Amino acid sequence: MSCAINCLYNGTCLSNDTCICPPCFIGAACEISVNVIKFSLTFAMYWDIEQTSIDSNFNIPKFAYTFTIAFMLLIALLNNIACLQTFFLHDIRLTNCGIFQILYCLTGLITILGMQLRMLTMLEFDSLTQAYSYRYTACNIIPVIVIITSDTCMWLSALLAIEFVLLECFNLNVYRSRWFSIISSILCFLLVGGSHLHEIIIRRLLPDPYQPSSYTCTFIYPLPLDIIDKIFRTSHIIIPCSIHFITSICILTSMTRRILLVYSRHDYFQVFINECIKRKHFFIPPLFIILSNFPHLILHLKDLCEDVRNTTLLRIHIALNILVYLPPSITFFIYIYPSKIYMYKFKKTFLGRWFKRIFTTS
């Protein structure tokens, strides 16, 4: 028997022209996805805000998300400005490490600023207009730029870790040519941007479950492209995190063996622990970056139906998404504060002298 309704996403049409939708799809034609894994961060926030506004006069999620993103922006501005003042010092910016760290701070700032901009458009402007140009910018341009800069931060931090290995394990000159950092950074931007190009072009807006006449900034790719997209997204987390882990082990192992050889010691484990404490500036950034990204990676690798109508699951998804953006927000605390050398350099900057005067007078 023919069916008057075209049931989407493998939905089953009954004889009375009613669609039986697969898990995580709703709507008359199964056209609305409620799989939180497929939701962008801002749309997941939007869903929670709209769901709460139905039952409450004071929207706690709206306040919490607005405060969190605004606070992250403030922290990111303070941290990255302090870092940039330090990394732009003459003897740091002449090194490959300095170039990587300057670019990491700049891309991190763009990432957090983009998050704040998308949050503002979602809260204030999405409900005011359905103009194609606005929707395309708000859904296909701004979020993709945020994703590109976030992934670029991951790769820049991994390149910085490789530079540390070259310096510590292969004794290369710290002031050698900066072509390595310049060329590898350019390739990093090009490869990351190219891997997300399909998101700008092929993203299709889906119906808003709260306002069927409008559309939301969430999306589903056709199956072959969905697989490719997942490979790219996981690669941008797994490969940099693996590089961080391997380089940290290489550096600490190399230093431990050097001390054992020079001082004729045999307590390998004790020396290794001492080096971890002494050289904490080498492994604190990788450790923090891995811990910030790993939970989000596991959530997306599950590839199961996680129904957004489960509020607890929705908020876990949002929290893990926000956690990914934490390292670019606190660059000072993961790159400068653990290092005695960088802290000494920071104290020579304008902000460093200003903070010193404040704490001295207090």
Which sequence spans correspond to the domains of the chain?
Answer: 1-30, 39-361
CA distance 163 to 174: 9
Amino acid at 201: I
1, pLDDT greater than 60: no
CA distance 182 to 113: 24
> Could you tell me which residue, 125 or 228, shows the higher pLDDT?
228
The superfamily in CATH containing domain 39-361 is: Rhodopsin 7-helix transmembrane proteins (1.20.1070.10)
Longest dimension (CA), the chain: 85
pLDDT tens for 171-208 read 899 999 999 999 999 999 999 999 998 888 877 666 66
CA distance 37 to 53: 23
pLDDT at 127: 64
Amino acid at 80: N
β 32-33/25-26 pair status: antiparallel
Report residue 110's pLDDT band, with 50, 70 and 90 as the boundaries: very high
Element (H, E) at 12: strand 12-13
236, pLDDT greater than 70: yes
Question: Is 170 in contact with 107 (CB distance < 8 Å)?
Answer: no
pLDDT at 15: 72
CA distance 343 to 345: 5
101-107 average pLDDT score: 97
> Could you tell me which residue, 47 or 330, shows the higher pLDDT?
330
216, pLDDT greater than 80: no
86, pLDDT greater than 70: yes
pLDDT tens for 167-181 read 988 989 999 999 999
Question: Is 214 in contact with 139 (CB distance < 8 Å)?
Answer: no
Report residue 362's pLDDT band, with 50, 70 and 90 as the boundaries: low
333-349 average pLDDT score: 93
Angle between helices 96-120 and 60-87 (to 10 degrees): 160
Amino acid at 17: D
Closest CA to 8 of 26, 31, 28: 31
Closest CA to 200 of 246, 240, 145: 145
